Chains A and B, each alone.
Chain A
Amino acid sequence: GIQVEQSPPDLILQEGANSTLRCNFSDSVNNLQWFHQNPWGQLINLFYIPSGTKQNGRLSATTVATERYSLLYISSSQTTDSGVYFCAVGGGADGLTFGKGTHLIIQP
């Protein structure tokens, strides 16, 4: 099956810092989503981005499908950004394969 690798596995930053999270995948995909899992376990959909670039407030994402990677940018980090960020890929309406996630801690 398809392999999804996320880096870094852990990241500790001060409030106000910027960060870049990376997701590499082993095969072509029709679906790529970024999620934020908050400390209460909720999985929040951030972006649906199988290709191209999108921005939503302080967050933006870019997927280069031909090179099989995606990047999630977080600017001006806030403590509420803490949690685990997952990249997940799939083919259209198939089940998603998740990476191991990046555990982000934003310190005040």
Chain B
Amino acid sequence: AAGVIQSPRHLIKEKRETATLKCYPIPRHDTVYWYQQGPGQDPQFLISFYEKMQSDKGSIPDRFSAQQFSDYHSELNMSSLELGDSALYFCASSSTTYLSGDNTDTQYFGPGTRLTVL
């Protein structure tokens, strides 16, 4: 079965640079979520989109922004990077309507993008 695709898988940036992470949800999923997991920490919810509109907001810094496009893929834009932004960034997707063999609202996670800020 198709899974969530994230790119790039690894990214190295310098302080104060910008970064863009991309997420391609499972086909027919209409909701995308972004999470940040620091070293030894649990994942923290950042932001989510349903049908290209922001639907829920967590602990996303003001330096970060995100959007969902017409093809449902999403991008997380990160500016003025800091050392503390080094983390594993996950994208997840879910469907609000019933799909065969699935539960609505079950979130499936991508492999993550490992961001290192030097």
Contacts and interface: CB of A to CB of B under 8 A. Distances in A.
Nearest to B90: A43
Interface stretch (A11-19, A71-79, A90-98): A90-98
A85 to B, nearest CB: 11
A41 interface: yes
B103 A48 contact: yes
Contacts of A35: 109
B25 interface: no
A99 B109 contact: no
Q: Which range holds the interface residue count of chain B?
A: 20 to 34
Given A33-B106, A42-B112, A43-B109, A98 B58 contact: no
Interface string A86-108: 10100011111111110000000
28 contacts: A31-B105, A33-B107, A41-B111, A42-B111, A43-B43, A43-B90, A43-B109, A44-B109, A45-B108, A45-B109, A48-B103, A86-B43, A88-B43, A93-B96, A93-B105, A94-B48, A94-B55, A94-B56, A95-B33, A95-B35, A95-B45, A95-B47, A95-B56, A95-B58, A96-B35, A96-B45, A98-B43, A99-B42
Interface of A: 30-31, 33, 35, 41-45, 48, 86, 88, 92-101
Given A93-B105, A96-B43, 5 more contacts: A48-B103, A93-B31, A95-B46, A96-B45, A100-B42
